Amino acid sequence: MNIGQASKASGVSAKMIRYYDEIGLVQPSARTDSNYREYGERELNELRFIRRARSLGFSMAEITQLLSLWRDRERPSREVKAIAERHLAGLDARIAEMQAMAETLRHLSRCCAGDDRPDCPILADLTAGSLPSEPKTPSRRRPA
């Protein structure tokens, strides 16, 4: 099948298929006499593999490692599991960071009167440059 058909069958855009081919992520596909790429079941399986790995947030480097292990039928599964667990730890850390950011913003939003006065704890916090992991209690000054 041609690249358009492979794109439709795999769910990966033709542009990304060309990119993956260019960087060597996928194994080279066969070429026609006029130098067009031809895709078969092997290439489709690799593209689907990549699409799924990307949807789980794996980096290109991790996908390269996973593809290499997937192609190696004598691989130890512990290597695959180690990659997945490192990725999961990274996801957990990012989730914790985002939860801390959300909690800080929730707190600042509760402290802001949201009225016609210019005083705003959210802007005061942004000006102070505090980090989400270091929430501070903004003051609620009243105009005199």
Same domain as 94, residue 32: no
Model confidence pLDDT, tens digit, residues 51-63: 999 999 999 999 9
Which tokens is 103 given? 């909690």
Q: What is the DSSP string of 11-24?
A: T--HHHHHHHHHTT
Instruction: Look up the pTM and report it.
Output: 0.75
Model confidence pLDDT, tens digit, residues 2-18: 999 999 999 999 999 99
Q: Name the residue range of residue 29's domain.
A: 1-58
Q: Write down the pLDDT at residue 133.
A: 53
Same domain as 140, residue 83: yes
Q: Write down the pLDDT at residue 9.
A: 97
Task: List the single range of 114-118, 120-124, 139-143 with lowest mean pLDDT.
Answer: 139-143
Same domain as 80, residue 50: no
Per-residue pLDDT band for 130 (boundaries 50, 70, 90) equals low
Number of domains present in the structure of the chain:
2
Interatomic CA distance for residues 11 and 13, integer angstroms: 7
Interatomic CA distance for residues 33 and 16, integer angstroms: 23
